Structure 1
């Protein structure tokens, strides 16, 4: 790596991402430990790490495409990959803002990477980040970003790339040191802003990439001396929103403008970043389902992550919760339902099953000593087992309940009781899931052989426990036949999960069919949102 490059070229950008990831990896726990604003959930360092990890991975993918050739990738391609990777991988409030900062820089640096463009890039980044935050607050990462930009712009025109980067870094450090005096919650805790600390770390990596000198980013007391009482948390009148909702969104600018207004009325800590049709949405709300529905109205939300904050905002979230549940769900409607029941959810879209890394991420986000993992899909058994094993190496006790369908996961979650011992809870959840027979309806895409005979494209298939047992002409008739077959063996409760394109009337019709034919059987109906199956059925 050149010691003092004249431009922030493709190789230097790659080095920047790598160095930033290494530095955040070293400081991750320390930054988590000083996270008291906007929510004292102790995950800012982790969120920033995952955000930069995604940016670095995108950059490495661009370089990998050139491994067999004699040239490196185009500078503009690498810069844009860094910004795009951060956008799609952004985690939490701090990670989302960092993604917008990198996007703002990329818009300028894609033209050139000299000192003049770096000055402008830092200024554009700070301005873009403020616009992305619904209600900017001083004493946060926004203040640190603005100070870095102002210090960089103040350098002389004859300053080189390293001088501009150093000015930005030192300006950010000075602003970070002042944050306890700007934000009372930080002053009472005796810590600097965690997001700002992360940005200083990233800017230190930038300086190292262009100047070849490692820079420490810590300001203030050492992590082990920080007061972690949690008295510094600053909850709202009702203790603050219960859920953090994050999703990627494909939508137009006009639709996103309306979405901002809707989400701003629903909660706080709203950050919407992106552009060119792709956005990353972050908000804290009490009604997670409404936040997701707002995204559906605006466009196509995906990679939806809903995290349930601990009800007690005491002890600053320093001590992990004793127990949590992580559930994979096939639709955004069930994501909201499970989150309201206290679970951390991972959305599995049709054809896009989550990787083990996503499940490990969700287990970490649950922030608990003990985690019950519900894969809710037979095909995810090995993926979930790998995630559980990885989490165990990090000191988290994980139990994998082998749920094979979302309705089994709902049954398991319904009997979850954190107050009993971990083993007893896992046994009860496993028993509830095992006592739930599951079925789903699907539409045949082509002619094929099934256990029920030959189906044609467009036929409605009824699957029980994963096997095709009914071939029908329409959804209502096939659903009734499947229900009759399942209830012939008995049952006390039927759960119906309707897909996005299925009318509510179907739920009413099937509930009436059950009432008329099976007097002692109760029925519950949920909207599943976008899911692969038009109807999911569970019988307990």
Structure 2
């Protein structure tokens, strides 16, 4: 239930009310907003992405109200405006979804940057009308800066119009509620003009979907500060059928094939270089955040390269790779028949599986993803049938629970008991989305089961293993999950593991290199295989950050 608003007072409770009302408003409008989504990609998810972003921000805000501030012990402490807006913006940054959600996160960050600071004027309150107007202006400025190539006729245009009107209102009245009302009214007017500013919208006869969502958020802000509920109105352009080509997935001008999103821990300087690199790889580039934490969104044809660019810049995590072929079918109200969801330990593997058409979930070694993360990935795949590759024995229970939840939603799910990422790659190699579900699952299961898997790890302490006692720093060679070799160097241990694995035959060796392993190791191992096993082919991939020093698959 929404909290009772405090008219004309912009404080922490008002932010809490704003958040609750924004989630409700976007929840009511999200299907209509999805239906008018044509730019930059007609993937019918802008309303859903904005709603999910607002939900994530609301959860972060709720946690702030539930926990004492530093130095306080009261179970229900008073929360400051600065602490509330910062938590609200941080939650949006962490949970931002899609292009529109990422821009909304940056708009909220701009608001927090102003309302979280001490007022510049003596005696001025943080929540004054002047401060709110400044916050809306900063929000629009930062959103424009976050987008690599800003386009007018989008939610950026709507945000700028709201900011200008807010500045005018505060000069005349000074109240936060009046500033919010002026911003809301101006945003509505700017939204109505977007079809004449952006050709894609004009052709479809709709307004900008992201801008429509922003109007809902600004309406919630006005309601939180005034106590007046905006009159219900239909989403502009909702009644217009958005034209789609016969098969959007086959259109040569459909743009990049993948959406890549991840959180990134990196310095400002590294992010500057990352922007340049990603801008050369694709389009719809939006990088938001600051103070060491960023949310990166880009559309590319090479998702592996986009992820690797993040690895060069810093530490990417929560990587999501989505194939637009599936998204464009969803834009026509269709589900794809079948999809694959793979849990992988490294960013390089996430990119590799993404290129093969899989929806990926990143789970670094030793970490088990939440059931909700797998359920969300299954839903994001938007398919009637899903093949789930857990990638580790310790993940089977989580995968089974996620599959059970997805089945309750009407999705047919099969869990293939892959115990290593290389078994997942083998299963993906034989995946046939055009064949029957049962035959596909059987073939993928057989391919995974026929792949022996090995791994190199470095012992952290002295311990007993199935191959004897190891010391801290020893290189352990594991085969099918058990320690088979204890060595002193990566190359020698890898060669010993390969020799044992190939002893029972094989046609293909897959090598997945960890982030700090040199290419020379792969060259040495490829030569080793060729010398002793002339009929065996070798392929090498980079696993990226978090992956083990070396993964080996033998098929």
TM, length-normalised to structure 1:
0.94
Could you tell me how far apart the structure 2 residues matched to 1:217 and 1:470 are? 69
Q: Secondary structure at the match of 2:42?
A: coil
Spell out the pairing of 1:150-189 with structure 2 (5 A cutoff): 150-157=164-171, 158-189=173-204
Give the stretch that moved more between structures: 347-356 or 109-118. Answer: 347-356
Contact 1:200 1:217 in 2 (8 A): no
Please state how far the C-alpha of 1:68 moved relative to its aligned partner: 4.6
Contact 2:206 2:236 in 1 (8 A): yes
Deviations 1:344-396 (A, max 9, x none): 22222345443222222222322323222212122222222222233333333
- Selected match of 1:131 from 135, 138, 145: 145
Could you tell me how far apart the structure 2 residues matched to 1:276 and 1:500 are? 25
Could you tell me how far apart the structure 1 residues matched to 2:16 and 2:250 are? 40
- Selected match of 1:37 from 36, 39, 43: 39
Could you tell me how far apart the structure 2 residues matched to 1:364 and 1:315 are? 12
What is the number of equivalent residue pairs in this alignment?
539
CA 1:73–1:156 in structure 2 vs 1: closer, same or farther (change >3 Å)? closer
- The match for 2:436 is 421
- The match for 2:472 is 457
CA 1:144–1:484 in structure 2 vs 1: closer, same or farther (change >3 Å)? same
Spell out the pairing of 1:399-418 with structure 2 (5 A cutoff): 399-418=414-433
CA 1:19–1:407 in structure 2 vs 1: closer, same or farther (change >3 Å)? same
Return 5+ residue gaps in structure 1 as ranges.
none
- Selected match of 2:345 from 330, 350, 371: 330
Give the stretch that moved more between structures: 90-99 or 523-532. Answer: 523-532
Superposition RMSD on alpha carbons, in Å?
Answer: 2.3
State whether structure 2 residue 84 is matched by structure 1 residue 78: yes
- The match for 2:13 is 11
Q: Secondary structure at the match of 2:325?
A: coil
Spell out the pairing of 1:230-269 with structure 2 (5 A cutoff): 230-231=244-245, 238-269=253-284
Spell out the pairing of 1:211-290 with structure 2 (5 A cutoff): 211-215=226-230, 219-220=234-235, 223=238, 225-231=239-245, 238-290=253-305
Give the stretch that moved more between structures: 80-89 or 100-109. Answer: 80-89
Q: Secondary structure at the match of 2:414?
A: strand
Return 5+ residue gaps in structure 2 as ranges.
118-125
Deviations 1:78-101 (A, max 9, x none): 211111111121111111100100
Contact 2:129 2:170 in 1 (8 A): no
CA 1:123–1:249 in structure 2 vs 1: closer, same or farther (change >3 Å)? same
CA 1:391–1:141 in structure 2 vs 1: closer, same or farther (change >3 Å)? farther
Deviations 1:333-352 (A, max 9, x none): 11111111111222223454
- The match for 1:103 is 109
- The match for 2:135 is 121
Contact 2:5 2:14 in 1 (8 A): no
Please state how far the C-alpha of 1:117 moved relative to its aligned partner: 1.1
Contact 2:456 2:551 in 1 (8 A): yes
State whether structure 2 residue 322 is matched by structure 1 residue 320: no
Could you tell me how far apart the structure 2 residues matched to 1:15 and 1:349 are? 37
Could you tell me how far apart the structure 2 residues matched to 1:462 and 1:476 are? 11
Please state how far the C-alpha of 1:32 moved relative to its aligned partner: 1.8
Could you tell me how far apart the structure 2 residues matched to 1:352 and 1:314 are? 33
Could you tell me how far apart the structure 1 residues matched to 2:249 and 2:200 are? 6
Contact 2:89 2:109 in 1 (8 A): yes
Give the stretch that moved more between structures: 468-477 or 357-366. Answer: 357-366
Spell out the pairing of 1:288-367 with structure 2 (5 A cutoff): 288-310=303-325, 316-367=331-382
Q: Secondary structure at the match of 2:485?
A: strand
Could you tell me how far apart the structure 1 residues matched to 2:326 and 2:86 are? 40
- The match for 1:52 is 54
Could you tell me how far apart the structure 2 residues matched to 1:507 and 1:217 are? 63
Give the stretch that moved more between structures: 490-499 or 159-168. Answer: 159-168
Please state how far the C-alpha of 1:421 moved relative to its aligned partner: 1.6
State whether structure 2 residue 157 is matched by structure 1 residue 143: yes
Please state how far the C-alpha of 1:313 moved relative to its aligned partner: 5.2
Could you tell me how far apart the structure 1 residues matched to 2:76 and 2:6 are? 23
- The match for 1:373 is 388
